[in-house]
A and B are shown apart, each in its own frame.
Chain A
Amino acid sequence: GAGVSQTPSNKVTEKGKYVELRCDPISGHTALYWYRQSLGQGPEFLIYFQGTGAADDSGLPNDRFFAVRPEGSVSTLKIQRTERGDSAVYLCASSLGGYTEAFFGQGTRLTVV
């Protein structure tokens, strides 16, 4: 596609529910990143995929968070047993390789009530 696409744009869920956030990277981009941006703060790294594999998942806060990229293109960030503290904007970025410029999507704003 023309840019990184993230769906949904906004998601409201109840505490304890499971959510999935989707990221469609730019076609041909092998590297994909997830970041979390809490209100009034800068984005924080969550996980980096090179192809289908998670090359660095050191930013995932706990085992309720999981991400997959089964075919090396679309990625899904999964959050189990959501908590109010998970409320944030989740940003996805992709790049042609591991070290070239990363292009960001418009994020998914997750609100846990």
Chain B
Amino acid sequence: AQTVTQSQPEMSVQEAETVTLSCTYDTSESDYYLFWYKQPPSRQMILVIRQEAYKQQNATENRFSVNFQKAAKSFSLKISDSQLGDAAMYFCAYRRTLTTSAGNKLTFGGGTRVLVKP
């Protein structure tokens, strides 16, 4: 079974600074997807960024970028120019590509709380 581990329960960053969130995962598969989701106090999970394992290039979305190290099974998220609105829980998630009936089932890590100081 796949597992996703986030070792940082909480990270604090000064507004306009950069913070990096860590994620490691365990899988025996060679092709899969990785995601970072943001969960504000409203509880709704919002997709921040996704990475296909077969792509060597790291994904970027505006101020958000990832460092995908496939051999090390590591998938970190960098938030640049942090804003007050970035404060939330962040979850790393894994999804298989080869599937019979699993569909879009996601396996999540335990989350990292990001605090942004003005």
> What is the 8 Å Cβ interface bit string for chain A, positions 69-113, against chain B (1 contact, 0 not)?
000000000000000000001010101001111101111010000
Judging by beta carbons under 8 Å apart, are B43 and A45 in contact? no
- The binding surface of chain A is classed by DSSP as strand
Residue of B nearest to A32 (CB): B103
A100 to B103, CA, bound (A): 9
In the bound complex, how far is the Cα of B106 from the Cα of A35, in angstroms?
9
Task: Spell out A's residues near B (CB within 8 Å).
Answer: 31, 33, 35, 40-45, 48, 50, 55-56, 89, 91, 93, 95, 98-102, 104-107, 109
23 example contacts (A-B, Cβ-Cβ < 8 A) are as follows A31-B104, A33-B103, A40-B110, A40-B111, A41-B111, A42-B6, A42-B91, A42-B108, A43-B91, A43-B106, A55-B103, A91-B45, A93-B45, A98-B99, A98-B104, A99-B97, A99-B99, A99-B103, A99-B104, A101-B47, A101-B104, A106-B42, A106-B43
Contact indicator A107/B43 (Cβ below 8 Å)? yes
Q: Mark B55-93, 1 if CB is under 8 A from A, else 0.
A: 000000000000000000000000000000000000101
Contact of A42 among B47, B103, B105, B111 (CB under 8 A): B111
* Count of B interface residues, CB-CB < 8 Å: 23
Kindly count the residue-residue contacts between A and B in the assembled complex, taking CB atoms under 8 Å apart: 69
Which residues of the partner chain A approach B43 to less than 8 Å between Cβ atoms?
89, 91, 106-107, 109
Residues from chain A with a CB closer than 8 A to the CB of B103 are 31, 33, 48, 50, 55-56, 95, 98-99
Evaluate contact between B104 and A33: CB separation under 8 angstroms.
yes
> Given the complex, which residues of B lie within 8 Å of A50, measured CB to CB?
101, 103
CA distance in complex: A99, B4 (Å) = 20
Cβ-closest chain B residue relative to A43: B108
By the criterion CB–CB under 8 Å, are B105 and A45 in contact? yes
